[in-house]
Each structure stands twice: as C-alpha cells, then as structure tokens.
Chain A
Amino acid sequence: MPELLSESQARALCERVLARSTTDGAEVRLRAGRAGNARFARNQITTSADVVDVEVTFTARVGRRSATVTFNVLDEPGIGAAVGRAEELARIAPEDPELMPLLASQTYTPSPAYFESTADLAAAGRAQAIVPVVESAAAADMVASGFLQHRAASVAVANSAGLFAYHRATDASFTTTVRTPGGNGSGWAGGTHNDWGLVSSTAELAARAVRKARESTTTRDIPPGRYTVVLEPTAVGNLVQLLLSALDARAADEGRSFFSKRGGGTKLGERVVGDGVTLFSDPRDPDLLEPPFTDEGFPVGRTMWIENGLLRNLAYDRYWAERQGTQPTPLAGGIKMAGGQGTAADLVGSVERGLLVTRFWYIRNVDRRTLVFTGLTRDGTFLIENGRIAGAVKNLRFNESPVVMLNNVVAKGTPVRVVASESGGLGRAVSVPPLVIQGFRFTAVSDAV
C-alpha cells in the first residue's frame, strides 16, 4: 500500500471497510502517510525517525448504540476482526440518547494544504537543514539543540449514509534553542507552515536564537508585578489558543465555563475582550490551511469567534445545536487573530518601559472560572527602556488570564503562523500578531535559564 493515499485509493479502502459492516450504520475515518523528524543537541544530530502508517477508525452503530475501534492491520482478516470487534461492542453498549443520525453526503470547499516541498523532505534534506544551524552555533561558541518535523498525510471520512470526504496535507516545523556553553544564556527561534518553503531558513532562525542567547547572558533582577509586555507572536500563540478550550457552548450553557452568564445562559453577543480583538477560524486561510471537514465529515467553514471584542460564536456539536435550536459550529479550522502592521522589534520601539517575551512554558490552568493560567517566560526575556532593548532579565512566572490580556492590548503587529505548542512540533494551525499588552501580571522570579 502506498504511503500517501490518493482520493480514489482512500475511497476504495473506505469502501472495503464499510463493505464488512453488518449493522444498520457505520462510519470510517482513515489517516495515511509518512512522518519524519530529526532532533539535534550539543551541536549534533541525536536521533531521527521515519514512520509509515495507515490508521483506520471504524464506528459501528446498532440503533442508538455505537462503539469505535482503531486499527492498522488492513488485510481482509484484519479488517474483518476489527469491524467484528466494533459491532460486538456496539451491540452491548447502552443506548445513547444523544446519538445523532449519520450525516448524508456533504459539499466541501478544498483547502490547498499539500506542498511537494514538504512531501519531498527526507533524511538528507533534514541533515542539510540542520548542519548550518549546528555549525553556526559552534562557530559562535554556542550549543544548539532543536527539532525538525514534517509529515505528509491523507485523511478521509466515509459512512454508510453515502458521505465521503477527502483531504491531503503536508506540515513542517523547525525550532531551535541555542544556549551558551556555561548555561547562562538561552535563545529560541522557530517557524512552521504546510509549505516547508515558507518556513524561514534554518540559518536565519539559528542566527536569531544565537543572538538572543548571547544577549541574555547577563540578567538583571526585576521584581514581580504588572508590566507592559511586548509578546512575540509565539508567546501570543501560546496564550491565545487557551481561549479555545473555553468556547464549548454546552459547558457555557451548563454554568461551568468562563463564558457562562451569571443567572444562566451564555455571554454570546457580549463584550468579552478589548474592542481591537478579532479571532476566527478558517481552514482555507493561507496561514491556516486546515482540513475542510471534521472527524464525522461535517463541513468546516470560516467562523468568527470574537469580532471587535464581542463574543460572536460558541462551538456547538450537532446534538447540542439541535437541542438549543441553533446551527452546529465545529471547533476546527485553526485559529487566527487579526493584527496590524509590524514585527515585534517594531513594537518594541513604541514602548517606554516594559518586557519583551520570546515564548512561554509549562502553561497550566489554575482557575477555570476566571481562565487564569500560570506559566513562565523562557529563552529570551528582555527589559525594554525608551523603545530599546536594555538588557536581559531573569525569567518570570505569570498568573494571568488570556481574557484579561486581550482586554489590555495596546498595539498589534502583523500576524504570522507560529509553533504554538510548547512541545515545539506540529499541531493546530495558529496565526497571531505580536502584541503590546499593558499590566501583564508576573507573580514570581525564576532562576531558570
């Protein structure tokens, strides 16, 4: 079986699986392709990996009962055993009063997310990208570590009601952390896109990380407190994506969400953040390029979540939408925050006194009612005085809510696609601008470099 399934190959495999179904309803999802990566540390490649897999997820329905299995043994006995297991489980599962009928055939607008530049990446190309990074770090008497990850995959959804959806995509990301040999300075840089050709050159990213590491070797102590901050796009992405977890309409209706309204109901239509903030999802936005359908084949379009500070939409699954008398709204299609013009460096020029933050780390929710999260700055935190970088500061712990943060936006730069996951790899597409925020709350100082 080929690594990446074409639309006709994916359709044929879905039909082979559905043909084994003996119950009154079935859904199949598949994900096929190749994933590769290389890690480096101490100025050398440490490990790398290439993996080919085809993963099939099959859901059997028996009346209002259902069960799901995932498997990757795709010969006839393997498919038969997996389908049989799902049907056996479905027959003894309790009835689900919330099970919705299978979706009928849908129409999708394709998302052009597949790029040969990424699909062609392999061991030699990875090494070519990494060698200049470790060599430039070594030449600067620095120590580089990092991660290059790429994948090419096709996904398909089909069901016994006639639905079929197909999408193929590539993704790539590169991140590097450069440290001084004595461990008293650290700098990070990274980039990601579906198109490897649009990720900044690794040499350029390395130069950025080397510069930050060098500039952060001498730190001054500043006390915890509220500061004006310039958040680089990665730091903004780390925090803005946290809002997504609170957008579930059902949790809001049930009174257990930041978007629940006192006395009942949700905050839909209310002002929730500053009027300069607009957040939306769109699988066809050139900075996002996410699949145009969900796991059950529901079409994903552009959804405005927050428009000029007003909460415009919450996410409804099909059941909750029907019960509440509204349209299903999937939480999918990436996330993008509208911005203005300029880079983080440009924004620094507008700040009299504040802090520049490269990225955040170990971000965890401490209060779901207020959406307060804690976490720390990392790999490049600098003091700004009179519009210029005045030196590095020790890393700081914050206890702050992204809602409070987005109520205190002073200025926005140009949105860029960022590696928003702390693990530095591929994840949901996030495109955000650098921001100037006033009154950002830091609560402790860390000795970590």
Chain B
Amino acid sequence: MSVTRREFVKQTSVAAATLAATARGASAQPVSRVATYQGDPSIKALCMFALDAAKTAGASYADVRVGRRRMQSISTREERITRLVDDETFGVGVRVLVGNAWGFWASREVNRRECVRVARAAVDQARANQQAARGQVTLAPVSAYPDAVWQTPIERDPFDVPIEEKVDYLLSANAAALRIRGARFASSSLAFVRHETTFASTEGTVLVQTLYRCSPQMTVTAVASDFSDFQARSSAEVSPMGMGYEHVEAADLPGRAAAWAEEAVQKLSAPSVQPGEYDLILHPSNLFLTIHESIGHPTELDRALGYEANYAGTSFIAPPERMIGQLRYGPEIMNIQGDRTQLGALATVAWDDEGVPADSWPIVKDGVFVDYQTTREQAAWIADLTGITRSHGCSYASSWDQIQFQRMPNVSLLPGVADYDLNDLIAATDRGIVIHGRGSYSIDQQRYNFQFGGQVFYEVQGGKIVGMLRDVAYQGRTTDFWNSLDMLGGPESYEMGGTFFDGKGQPSQANAVSHGCPPARFRAVTVINTGGSA
C-alpha cells in the first residue's frame, strides 16, 4: 500500500492540484506546447494537397490526419517469453463535410497522388451519404494553430529501453511470485504505445502531436492441491498511464509480486461472502472503473441523443434540457471533472483530433449534473443550456484508419476537503467490505443497473479489517449508488486508474482513458455472491 500510494501521489499531485483548482472555478492550465512546426515538411505538404483537393471537390470543411502508431508488447508466463511484438502502422485519413454529410477515406499509401485521391473519394462518399442526411451540421468555433507541436512529457522513452532490461524485469516478477508456496502460475506483460499524428484542417491548423502510453501488468494464479479450485490476483493497483518507462520502474512489479501471490493463495481459503447489504469502501483501483461506467459513459452527449443506440447504448441522462442543472447525481461532496489536461493521464492531449485545445470542466458540481462531453459538432446542441459555445475537445480516433468521434476524456472524482485516507474510512465503518482492483464489470445500455466485482475483498467489523472474503460483487442503480456516497478520502489519497480498452463506436474503437479518485465509502449497497450461487 505504501509503495502504491507514494507512486501515485508523485504521479498525480500536479493533476490533483489542477482538479482542485478547476473545481473552484479557476480555468484549466493547458499543458505546455511548443509553437513551431517540427514535423516532417513533406508530410505537412501532403496534408495541404489533401485539404486543397477536398475543398476543390466541394467540401466546406476538411481535416487530414497522417498517423504513425507503434506498439511494442512483451508477454511472459513463468520462465518464458510467450510473445514479443513490435507493430507499426502508418497511413492517412481524410474527413470532409459536404453540405450536412460527412465522408472519410483512408489509405496506407502516403504520397501526393493517394492523398489527393482519398480526399476526392471522401467527397464522393459524403455526396452519396447526402441521400440520408437531414440535420444541420454546425461546427463550434476553434482557433487556428498553424505551427504547433506537443508530446506527452516522459522521462525515459520506452522504445529506447533495451529489450533485455524489459525481459529481466518481467521474469524477475514471475520468479518472485512463484517463490510463494501455492502460487502455481505467473504471467506478466509490458505494453508501450507511441502515436504520432500530423493533423491539419481547413481552419488553418497544422500540428504534430506525439502521445506515449505504457502498461505494466501481472497476474498470479493459485490452484488448490486437489484441483478443486483456482484463484487469481492481478496487479490491480498498477494502472496504465500516459507516461514513459519511468512508470514501469515506479510500478516495481518484481518488488510487489510476492505480496500479490500471497493474496492469490489466501483467496483459496477465504470465506465466501454472505449476500446482503454492506457499506462499501472502494479503493481507487476499483472505484475508477465504476466512475468510468456509471459517470463517464452516461455523460457522453452523443449517447444521450441516440447516436450510439445501436451498440454502446443511450443514457439515462436525457433529454439534456431536463437534466443539465437539475439531475441530482449524488451528495454535495461529489464533484466530477472532465479533463484532458491531467499530466500522466491516458486521455491527456494538447489538442483533440479536430484541433480543439484540451479542456478541463465540471460535469457534476456539488452533486448536480451540469455538463456533457462534446465535440465541435455537438457543442451547439446544448450551448443554449450550458452557455458554453466551445467544444470540450473530446474528438478522438484510435488510428489513421478510423474516423474520429466523441470519446471520453479523463473523468475524475475530486477528493474531499478533509485529509482522510483509506484507514480513516475503515476506522469509521462498523460493518463493511473494502474492495481493491477491477473484477467483472457489467452495466446496462442506459447505465442504470450495474454489477461490479473486484480483485480482493476485506471484511470490516467495528472499524477494523478482520479478514479476507471472496466471491463478492455489488449491484445497484447508478443514482441510488452515488447518492449513498458519504465519505471521501482527501487530496493525499487521490490516485489514478485507467484502461487502454474503452470501447465505443461501430466499428468499435479503443480509447485509452484515466480516472482519478480518492477512496470513497458508499452506504448499504447490495452485495451478491458470485461463487456459482449468485
């Protein structure tokens, strides 16, 4: 716990300070940028050819992204490497608006002839779509950034770290876990992403942005001696982050593997939970995903208005005119911030994928829902209700070959004022369960009813942890659950969780996103037993 906390406090102190400031109404400070174009001049020229071709063919607006996305991953189990891959994809995508219809064409061939061809083809495609285009498309205003560059701040480039060092790191973590009696299997992995995009639009912007992400992970499995049971414990307190190799070093899988292995073994003999109502104390490593599912997704404006009805679903926070400033999401201590400026967070950028500068804004203020996540096309839909005409900068595409659309920013629960930590929450609880780590997660398509599990569960009686439990999941209705929140950790207890695999859209695109939060207590939540008799 102490290692985890130090690590995350170090990583998130700047972010937490930003969050606290913005919660009080101060404007967000954008992350630093360099205002000189440092990209490949030939790529910039190709972008101009594409934009010119689109305009000449009849587009009223166009943007182009030339993307190079590299991903390296190393996976191990026990004493061997199971997979060592280094993938790179490169290509160009052109998006155009013709009348009120969008078009998008993409190709792996990045040369003048092909850039012009795909731009024209995108216009033709948009024209075909006009047969079924009815609404008026109005793009929110945005400034031009004609020569801009930004990169995720990192201390050590993961792609420069020798493979041997990475392999040693993982195999020593596995070895440390397997030294624990009863731990039978250990798997671990490192994944690194570098995503460089040159973006240009007919608004006059040309920018180069390079994003880094990394994810260290491991899982230890214990098997009962008679093969009647098995239990796993993952490195749940280690999150993927928008950082360099320094995050892997701080995560220290080799140093912490033994403790996780011991807990995997303990789970085999832990008593199965008695179903019923319990006060829940959710560690940030569990609560982050509950925030993602029950606040992050339902506050996406496209969902609320039906644009994702066929897959990701709609939202209980609709229609906007009956929700903004009116829906009580939770108690007054609940403040939720949308934010693409938090250093170290996965969805942090300097500009989104339509050239809008990163934003930080309240989504829930003093327990009341006040705003959605928006793109340039969406901002006008609710500007009369919010008084905000700018896009919140939530446009994102996972690669050059995918069209950008509204994706989740970092959505975080701000810490409380009092300087409580997890132990304070436990000490204040008479009968409850502490939950660490993400487990099985499921929520309906309008985000009312959920069932969330975890990695490890500790029973609390009389203000103390009295032992481990297993087979725990909590079920609830989103607003009932959040209104049962009655205690928050303070700024020092704020940690960040995250995922590489937030799925939305058709075809489904993966978005990487973080959620910061302190530990929090929720009263009288329904707990079920998932051990085959739920």
Contacts and interface: CB of A to CB of B under 8 A. Distances in A.
A260 B439 CA distance: 22
Contacts of B228: 262
A264 B89 contact: no
A70 B399 CA distance: 15
Interface in B271-324: 305-311, 313-314, 316, 318
Interface in B108-135: 108-109, 121, 124-125, 128-129, 131-135
Nearest to A261: B227
Interface in B325-372: none
Contacts of B221: 256
B229 A369 contact: yes
A73 B90 contact: yes
A49 B403 contact: yes
A94 B227 contact: no
B356 to A, nearest CB: 18
Contact of A366 (B132, B164, B440): B440
B104 A448 contact: no
Contacts of A98: 80
A50 B102 CA distance: 12
B86 A145 contact: no
Interface stretch (B140-148, B383-391, B441-449): B441-449
A175 B121 contact: no
Given A443-B534, A447-B446, A149 B107 contact: no
A259 B308 CA distance: 38
Given A264-B227, A378-B444, A41 B308 contact: yes
Interface string B165-207: 0010001000000000000110000000000000000000000
B317 to A, nearest CB: 12
Contacts of B103: 48, 123
Given A254-B223, A399-B534, A424-B506, A94 B83 contact: no
A82 B88 CA distance: 9
B405 interface: yes
A94 B506 contact: no
B229 to A, nearest CB: 7
Contacts, number: 266
B131 A131 contact: yes
Contact of B530 (A72, A372, A449): A372
Contacts of A188: 310
Contact of B506 (A39, A128, A143): A39
Contact of B442 (A67, A82, A374): A374
Nearest to A37: B507
A179 B90 contact: no
Interface stretch (B12-20, B27-35, B51-59, B471-479): B471-479
B398 to A, nearest CB: 12
Interface string B71-104: 0000000001101111111110100000001111
Contacts of B519: none
A51 interface: yes
Contacts of B80: 94, 96-98
Interface stretch (A52-60, A111-119, A296-304, A322-330): A52-60
A127 B132 contact: yes
A42 B530 CA distance: 39
A359 to B, nearest CB: 11
A390 interface: no
Nearest to A124: B128
A399 B530 contact: yes
B54 to A, nearest CB: 15
Interface in A312-366: 361-366
A376 B128 contact: no
B132 A443 contact: no
B125 A68 contact: no
B507 A71 contact: no
A147 B506 contact: yes
Interface residues of B, number: 87
Contacts of B90: 72-73
A80 interface: no
Interface stretch (A18-26, A84-92, A157-165, A281-289): A84-92
B495 interface: no
Nearest to B441: A364
B227 A51 contact: no
A-side interface size class: 35 or more
A130 interface: yes
A370 interface: yes
B163 interface: yes
B309 A145 contact: yes
B374 to A, nearest CB: 15
Contact of B440 (A50, A127, A365): A365
A446 interface: yes
A425 B508 contact: yes
B184 A51 contact: no
B309 A179 contact: yes
A444 B442 CA distance: 12
Contacts of A447: 316, 446, 448-449, 477
B89 A71 contact: yes
A367 B471 contact: yes
A49 B401 CA distance: 9
Highest count of chain A CB atoms <10 Å: which of B87, B230, B309, B534: B309
Contact of A70 (B89, B129, B528): B89
A372 B402 CA distance: 35
B85 A70 contact: yes
A44 B135 contact: yes
A408 interface: no
B531 interface: yes
A376 B449 contact: yes
B230 A256 contact: yes
Contacts of A53: 89, 91, 106-108, 401
A73 B68 CA distance: 11
Interface in A399-449: 399, 422-425, 443-449
Nearest to A125: B128
B226 interface: yes
B311 A424 contact: yes
B442 A71 contact: no
A447 B106 CA distance: 40
A15 B403 CA distance: 34
Interface in B233-286: none
B162 interface: yes
A372 B102 contact: no
Given A47-B104, A262-B228, A423-B311, A123 B129 contact: yes
Contacts of A449: 446
Nearest to B453: A366
Which 3 A-B pairs rank lowest in CB-CB distance, beginning with the nearest? A448-B444, A446-B449, A123-B128
19 contacts: A41-B308, A48-B103, A49-B104, A50-B121, A53-B89, A53-B91, A67-B86, A69-B86, A72-B91, A73-B88, A89-B84, A94-B80, A127-B131, A366-B451, A368-B230, A397-B444, A422-B311, A424-B310, A448-B446
Interface of B: 80-81, 83-91, 93, 101-109, 121, 124-125, 128-129, 131-135, 162-164, 167, 171, 184-185, 221, 223-224, 226-230, 305-311, 313-314, 316, 318, 401-403, 405, 439-449, 451, 453, 471, 473, 475, 477, 503, 506-508, 528, 530-532, 534
Given A45-B133, A48-B125, A362-B444, 11 more contacts: A1-B109, A86-B86, A93-B163, A128-B131, A131-B132, A147-B311, A361-B313, A374-B473, A443-B475, A443-B528, A448-B444
